[in-house]
């Protein structure tokens, strides 16, 4: 393959089709002056581009509406602080990306989702880690420059280039290409700039000389280019994506309703009882005369056992900062900071009505000096409302909770916390310990706090232990004990192509005979490291461990999510009678329908889930020319099965997902609607190509690691 052949038809600057129209910098003051209405008008002009970006995360029209609604509010709120350091389009895109992350985190807890209009390549993109997927989509599909992508993701250009390379490599494996191509590693870092024709001439000449003599690099770079072209072609296919009729009108109506909301008048709050004040004075006197520790004071006065533990360990201080707006009083009780997060304990009281409100990070809650004092390398953790907490059962108008913010950059600082919106809890009428919904705009107002915090130290312990899970090497690298969490860092070997670990779940850690449960909500995160490329590094969060020097760590596994490569091609013929069956992975799968028309319908099913080897299939439909068909709509049905084999049909008898013991979701029916690339063109499916399948397996292994 010649160098000219490698670069044939590959001009990345000409391939970008979804650039967001630029806005004149002189228009920014006008937008500020006209307020929300002008921002909505601008979003309306760019709605298709932003809809496509949001769809890459959410795949759900209702959540897309929520994305636009939240993003417009955030743009309006942050507009006074827009400094023209980057383009307005790049700035807005960064806000949309952040909102997408927030909504997609909540989406990950849902069992079933709408599957309308997915594009097949999205299925492969979904299997990348979040950072790789974002970098690839912004660069190759949205057409932002490398510098703009780096700014949006708040990383260096070098880091962004690494994400593009690793993401394309992963896509190549997922899509079945390049598994046997291994170019020379020292030239990998030049691939993207070379294909984009931005490589410095001396390096370009050296690379081309090498490629000319190295067959492995020719094949490696060729398949790498194919994936990049596929990504660029995706933007062409997305050009026909239609925003649902009336979409922006619905968003406008929600914003208008928000503006019309009548806020309650401020009223006085009942002061603390004399008894508590008396106890406080008494204990201060005891401490002064006898030197008695303040732990006794916190034992008497702090009802929240978690916060009380922090205070008794001198890991934070009692603050009791208060702010009142529109009949709602917020109290910041304390803030505990470490290298993992900044944990803020709060109390919210509706002075006049029996309502309970909670805070939602990045939706009405922001840190005004975040860039100055907080680290962008971490992500805040999600803590769901605790309705079983005794304090939240006592009063119908008071809620006590906690919210996670980013960790501090330095040892201490003052957090400027601004709150403009609270969400109202709506409890289940039959089970008061469950939430049926959030009222998105429970109450609006303005509550401002300056919170002094001191970052508490963490202690790291090297583990150096290796084991195997389902025949795949897993190593335990490091244990970090921080005040707010215990963090286990581990690696998974990804050299095998026929079987891979997508996710490894832990039940608990036992350190010095103390058990700490794994975080149920988003406690697993991927780490970018410069270690061996054959290993992927992750972290899992567990409950905190106070004042312990570990001598032995016992790691209890819970389950593993596996991906299997098992190729099979089934010929399709629309003239045959259906259903027809075929055997795959030990199961009998039915092709229920192959119906050719203006829109071609294909339906496959497998209702027998007992002892089934797979939960979901990875497949595509090929047309007459052997190319992947353009799916315009896909939906599925399925059933949840718990660890004991009990099945739950969520359409018949909805059950809270977190209440099911280690559920597995088996897809039973998959429906696809196919449409030709050209208008009016019929799709005649010829092949069902299965790449592999995904499955979850329960584990009960315990790995013992001695630190002595």
CA pair distance 604, 581, nearest whole angstrom: 9
Q: Please list the alpha-helical segments (H only) found in 35-183.
A: 36-45, 47-55, 61-78, 88-107, 120-126, 130-136, 146-153, 157-174
Strand partners, 698: 559
Q: Which residues pair with 405 in a beta bridge?
A: 342
Token pair recorded at residue 272: 């603390």
- Residues 79-115: b if buried by 16+ CB within 10 A, e if exposed: beeeeeeebbbbbbbbbbbbbbebbbbbeeeeeeeeb
State both tokens at 348: 């919210």
Tokens 């970098």, residue located: 135
Longest alpha-carbon distance in the chain: 95
DSSP letters, 156-170, are: -HHHHHHHHHHHHHH
Q: What is the pLDDT of residue 676?
A: 66
Q: Is the distance from CB of 524 to CB of 540 less than 8 angstroms?
A: yes
R_g of the chain, CA atoms, integer Å:
28
pLDDT at res. 280: 47
Cβ atoms of 465 and 471 within 8 Å: the answer is no
And the tokens for 345? 């304990």
Bond preceding residue 409 cis, omega within 30 of 0: no
CB 578 within 8 Å of CB 605: no
For 50, counting Cβ atoms within 10 Å of its Cβ (0-12 exposed, 13-18 middle, 19+ buried), the class is buried
How far lies 563's CA from each of 115, 116, 360, 614, 626, in Å?
Answer: 21, 24, 34, 9, 25
Hey, CA dihedral for 26, 32, 37, 41, is it positive or negative?
positive
Strand partners, 402: 345
301: part of which helix (H) or strand (E)? helix 295-301
The answer to whether 76 touches 258, Cβ cutoff 8 Å, is no
Q: Which two tokens mark 481?
A: 């004990």
Instruction: Go through 253-281 and write b for each residue having 16 or more CB atoms within 10 A of its CB, e for each that does not.
Output: ebbeeeeeeeeeeeeeeeeeeeeeeeeee
- 447 vs 623: CA distance, rounded Å: 58
Q: pLDDT value at position 296?
A: 55
Q: Domain 302-454 belongs to what architecture?
A: Sandwich (2.60)
Identical fold, 302-454 and 459-562+700-706: yes
**189: which 2 tokens?**
């870092």
Helices (H) and strands (E) in the chain, counts: 20, 25
Q: Characterize 491-522 residue by residue with b for buried, 16 or more Cβ atoms within 10 angstroms of its Cβ, and e for exposed.
A: bbbbeeeeebbeebbbbbbbbeeeebebbeeb
Which of 398, 380, 382 lies closest to 390 in space, CA to CA? 398
Burial class from Cβ neighbours inside 10 Å (0-12, 13-18, 19+) for residue 234 reads buried
For the chain, 708 residues long, the average pLDDT of each consecutive 10-residue run is 47 41 49 70 84 79 86 83 74 85 56 39 72 82 80 83 83 65 78 79 83 80 79 65 81 78 40 46 49 54 85 88 92 94 94 87 87 85 81 84 93 94 74 51 86 93 93 94 93 86 91 87 62 82 82 93 93 91 95 89 94 91 71 77 84 66 89 72 86 93 90
Residue 484 falls in which region: left (phi positive, over 0), alpha (psi -120 to 50) or beta: alpha
Q: What is the DSSP string of 412-434?
A: EEEEEEEEEEEEEEEE-SS-TTS
DSSP state of 141: I
Report the C-alpha gap between 606 and 670 in whole angstroms: 9
d(CA 343, CA 484) in angstroms, rounded, equals 7
pLDDT given for residue 290 in this prediction: 47
Tracing tokens 């909770």 back to the chain, one arrives at: 401
Q: Taking Cα atoms as reference points, which of 566, 617, 561 lies closest to residue 589?
A: 617
What is the Cα–Cα distance from 157 to 148, expressed in whole angstroms?
9
Q: Do 96 and 39 touch, CB atoms closer than 8 A?
A: no
Pairing of strands 587-595, 580-584: antiparallel
CB 307 within 8 A of CB 483: no
Q: Which of 364, 698, 460 is nearest to 556 (CA)?
A: 698
To the nearest 10°, the Cα dihedral for 673, 674, 677, 681?
A: -110
Task: Return the domain boundaries, the chain.
Answer: 3-243, 302-454, 459-562+700-706, 573-685
Burial of 290 (0-12, 13-18, 19+ CB in 10 A): exposed
As a whole number of angstroms, the distance between CA 440 and CA 360 comes to 10
DSSP bridge pairs for 674: 600, 631
In this structure, what token pair is assigned to residue 332? 């910041």
Nearest alpha carbon to residue 659 among 460, 443, 434, 437: 434
Phi, psi of 605, rounded to the nearest 5 degrees? -150, 160
- Tell me the CATH architecture of domain 459-562+700-706: Sandwich (2.60)
């Amino acid at each position: 393959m010649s160098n000219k052949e490698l670069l044939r038809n590959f001009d990345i600057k000409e391939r970008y089709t979804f650039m967001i129209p630029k806005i004149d910098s002189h228009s920014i003051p006008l937008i500020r002056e006209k307020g929300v209405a002008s921002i909505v008008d601008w979003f309306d002009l760019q709605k298709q581009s932003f809809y496509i970006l949001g769809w890459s995360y959410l795949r759900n029209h209702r959540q897309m509406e929520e994305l636009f609604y939240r993003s417009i509010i955030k743009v309006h709120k942050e507009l006074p602080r827009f400094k023209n350091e980057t383009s307005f389009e790049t700035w807005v895109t960064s806000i949309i990306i952040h909102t997408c992350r927030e909504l997609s985190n909540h989406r990950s807890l849902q069992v079933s989702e709408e599957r309308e209009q997915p594009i097949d390549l999205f299925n492969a993109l979904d299997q990348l880690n979040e950072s790789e997927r974002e970098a690839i989509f912004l660069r190759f599909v949205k057409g932002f420059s490398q510098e703009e992508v780096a700014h949006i993701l708040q990383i260096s250009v070098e880091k962004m280039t690494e994400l593009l390379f690793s993401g394309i490599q992963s896509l190549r494996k997922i899509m079945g290409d390049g598994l046997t191509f291994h170019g020379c590693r020292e030239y990998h870092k030049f691939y993207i700039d070379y294909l984009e024709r931005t490589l410095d001439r001396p390096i370009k000449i050296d690379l081309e000389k090498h490629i000319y003599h190295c067959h492995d690099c020719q094949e490696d770079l060729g398949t790498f280019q194919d994936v990049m072209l596929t990504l660029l072609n995706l933007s062409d296919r997305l050009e026909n994506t239609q925003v649902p009729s009336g979409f922006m009108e619905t968003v406008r109506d929600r914003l208008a309703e928000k503006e019309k909301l009548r806020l309650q008048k401020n009223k006085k709050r009942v002061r603390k009882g004399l008894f508590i004040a008396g106890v406080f004075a008494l204990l201060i006197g005891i401490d002064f005369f006898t030197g008695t520790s303040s732990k006794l004071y916190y034992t008497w006065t702090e009802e929240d056992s978690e916060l009380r533990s922090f205070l008794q360990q001198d890991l934070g201080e009692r603050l009791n900062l208060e702010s009142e707006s529109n009949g709602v009083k917020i109290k910041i009780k304390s803030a505990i900071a470490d290298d993992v997060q900044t944990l803020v304990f709060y109390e919210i009281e509706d002075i006049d009505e029996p309502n309970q409100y909670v805070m939602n990070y990045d939706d009405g809650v922001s840190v005004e000096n975040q860039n100055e004092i907080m680290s962008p390398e971490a992500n805040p953790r999600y803590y769901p409302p605790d309705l079983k907490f005794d304090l939240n059962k006592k009063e119908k108008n008071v809620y006590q909770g906690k919210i996670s913010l980013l960790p501090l950059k330095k040892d201490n600082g003052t957090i400027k916390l601004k709150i403009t919106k609270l969400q109202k809890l709506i409890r289940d009428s039959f089970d008061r310990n469950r939430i049926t919904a959030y009222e998105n705009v429970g109450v609006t107002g303005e509550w401002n706090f300056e919170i002094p915090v001191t970052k508490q130290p963490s202690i790291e312990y090297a583990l150096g232990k290796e084991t195997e899970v389902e025949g795949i090497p897993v190593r335990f690298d490091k244990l970090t004990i921080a005040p707010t969490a215990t963090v286990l860092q581990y690696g998974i070997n990804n050299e095998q192509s026929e079987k891979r670990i997508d996710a490894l779940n832990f039940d608990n850690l036992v350190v010095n005979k103390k058990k700490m449960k794994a975080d149920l909500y988003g406690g697993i995160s991927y780490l970018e490291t410069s270690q061996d490329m054959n290993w992927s590094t992750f972290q899992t969060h567990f409950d905190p461990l106070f004042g312990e020097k570990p001598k032995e760590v016992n790691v209890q596994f819970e389950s593993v999510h596996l991906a299997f490569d098992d190729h099979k091609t089934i010929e399709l013929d629309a003239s045959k009678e259906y259903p027809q069956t075929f055997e795959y992975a030990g199961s009998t799968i039915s092709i229920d329908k192959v119906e050719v028309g203006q829109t071609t319908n294909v339906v496959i099913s497998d209702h027998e889930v007992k002892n089934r080897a797979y939960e979901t299939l990875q497949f595509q439909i090929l047309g007459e020319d052997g190319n992947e068909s353009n799916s315009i709509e896909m939906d599925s049905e399925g059933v949840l099965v718990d660890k004991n084999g009990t099945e739950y049909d969520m359409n018949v008898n909805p059950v809270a997902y977190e209440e099911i013991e280690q559920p597995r979701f088996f897809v039973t029916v998959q429906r696809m609607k196919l449409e030709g690339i050209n208008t009016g063109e019929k799709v005649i499916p010829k092949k069902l190509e299965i790449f592999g399948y995904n499955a979850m397996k329960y584990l009960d292994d315990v790995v013992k690691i001695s630190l002595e």
